[in-house]
């Protein structure tokens, strides 16, 4: 076999007429390769469009077929993230917070939240610094810290209710049952760009009144963009109901969950996980089976089909976007919440559990091996799994104890160094989980 470099050099010794034909052949080969790549890209794009149609039609068999076809078209890129994960080393000497440290650990966060509390001012949407997901994190964190026995329980409840009241108010401003997304017009960065693009598109279509109400986006036209905030805010107000038994919070959570049941599953797998998260929690809290039925269908149409069950990336989701570690753990959070509430005799339990374990195995091993990453999501998900007694029976090879310990030691070390490593929700859940017996 002649080395490629030597072969290329020898070509230049050929007569000019031969070199001309060689260059022509090379050019034709390049055109053929480019056409092949373009053809595959076009096929993949069409497959994604067909997937959206099949999901709207609730055609489970077609969704599965199209996902397998999409995996084939991705080839070696299936399950490979389109953005590399940055891992942070965990100091060998890092240890978990002690019980006494846990008791005091949320106070700096609480003081910061009380001082900031921009949500109590009911700002115009263009003046909001963050979307509703951040306010939902305040509710979750304060209530989890209160359950953990942290200092200042009355202040924690007051802060949680203040943030939850803003969520309810925002939901009422939208007027559609879902938790809407603020049109942050004029805001620098991606959020401002998205607002301007959304408004421009709706205006061009003559649909601005359908899309925007009181400065809030109230529809995503079935592409799933609103599922993120609707899911986490719905769970947050549900937690506030469980803490206070104030029916306004249950009505709010119910409206969000009812909206989620009417929305189709979408091709961005992690968006569906937010709906599964909320619907599963609603079933746990109310016992109303319609929410469990809806959660199961969302998982069947919008989570299971995208997970790779064979090959080198087994356990990950097939498209490069959802193959990112942060979205992987969002998907695991939805699955874990569903597995935690499925009855023992439910026919969907084996598949849900298998998907959860498969996903945990592949990514937890990375956390243990390479260090902490995306703690705001990874720690949140692992803490919820630890707190769910039903999930204590997960097999050892799922790697939950080791990954959880690594993330908790990382966050504890960061806290001792004076930084706040995660948002309020994940921090409160970590403190609550540390009260669990080892």
What is the structure's pLDDT at 186? 84
Decide: pTM greater than 0.85.
Answer: yes
Structure tokens at 275: 């709906």
How many Cα atoms are found within 13 Å in the side-chain-facing hemisphere of 13? 5
Give tens-digit pLDDT for 296-320: 999 999 999 999 999 999 999 999 9
What is the structure's pLDDT at 418? 92
Structure tokens at 111: 């003081």
> d(Cα 111, Cα 260) in Å, to the nearest integer?
34
Residue 12: CB atoms within 10 Å = 8
Give tens-digit pLDDT for 13-27: 556 656 566 556 656
What is the structure's pLDDT at 4? 42
pLDDT > 90 in the chain, percent: 85
What is the structure's pLDDT at 7? 42
CA distances from 325 to 226, 335, 403 (A): 21, 15, 14
What is the structure's pLDDT at 245? 98
What is the structure's pLDDT at 437? 61
- Under-70 pLDDT residues of the chain: 1-39, 437-438
Cα 326 to its chain centre, rounded Å, is 7
Structure tokens at 307: 């997970």
Residue 223: CB atoms within 10 Å = 15
Give tens-digit pLDDT for 173-214: 999 999 999 999 888 788 888 889 899 999 999 999 999 999
Q: Where are the domains of the chain?
A: 117-264
Contacts of 278 (CB under 8 A, 6+ apart): 230, 231, 232, 234, 235, 238, 253, 256, 257, 260
Contacts of 409 (CB under 8 A, 6+ apart): 90, 91, 94, 95, 96
């Amino acid at each position: 076999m002649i080395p490629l470099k030597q072969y290329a050099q020898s070509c230049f010794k050929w007569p000019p007429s031969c070199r001309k034909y060689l260059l022509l052949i090379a050019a034709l080969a390049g055109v053929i390769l480019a056409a092949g790549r373009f053809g595959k890209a076009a096929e993949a794009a069409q497959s994604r469009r067909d997937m959206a149609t099949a999901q709207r039609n609730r055609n489970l068999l077609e969704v599965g077929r199209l996902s397998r076809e999409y995996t084939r078209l991705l080839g070696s890129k299936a399950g490979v993230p389109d953005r590399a994960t940055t891992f942070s080393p965990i100091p060998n000497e890092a240890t978990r917070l002690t019980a006494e440290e846990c008791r005091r650990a949320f106070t700096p966060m609480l003081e910061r939240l009380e001082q900031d509390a921009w949500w109590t001012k009911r700002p115009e949407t263009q003046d909001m610094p963050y979307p509703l997901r951040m306010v939902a994190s305040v509710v979750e964190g304060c209530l989890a810290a209160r359950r953990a026995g942290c200092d200042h329980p009355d202040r924690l409840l007051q802060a949680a209710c203040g943030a939850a009241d803003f969520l309810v108010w925002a939901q009422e401003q939208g007027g559609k049952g879902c938790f809407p997304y603020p049109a942050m017009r004029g805001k620098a960065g991606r959020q401002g760009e998205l607002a301007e693009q959304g408004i421009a598109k709706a205006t061009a279509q003559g649909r601005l009144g359908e899309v925007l109400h009181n400065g809030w986006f109230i529809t995503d036209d079935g592409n799933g963009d609103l599922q993120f905030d609707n899911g986490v805010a719905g769970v947050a107000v549900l937690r506030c109901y469980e803490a206070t038994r104030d029916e306004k919070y249950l009505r709010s959570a119910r409206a969000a969950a009812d909206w989620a049941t009417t929305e189709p599953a979408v091709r961005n797998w992690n968006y569906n996980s937010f709906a599964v998260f909320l619907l599963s929690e609603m079933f746990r809290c109310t016992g109303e089976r319609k929410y469990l039925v809806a959660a199961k269908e969302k998982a069947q149409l919008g989570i299971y089909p995208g997970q790779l069950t064979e090959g080198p990336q087994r356990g990950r989701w097939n498209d490069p976007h959802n193959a990112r570690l942060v979205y992987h753990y969002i998907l695991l959070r939805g699955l874990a919440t569903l597995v935690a509430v499925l009855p023992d005799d439910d026919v969907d339990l084996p598949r849900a559990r298998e998907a959860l374990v498969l996903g945990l195995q592949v990514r937890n091993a990375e956390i243990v091996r390479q260090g902490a990453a995306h703690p705001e999501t990874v720690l949140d998900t692992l803490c919820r799994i630890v707190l769910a007694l039903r999930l204590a029976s997960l097999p050892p090879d799922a790697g939950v104890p080791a990954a959880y310990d690594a993330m908790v030691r990382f966050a504890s070390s960061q806290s001792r160094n004076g930084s706040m490593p995660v948002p309020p929700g994940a921090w409160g859940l970590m403190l609550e989980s540390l009260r669990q017996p080892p």
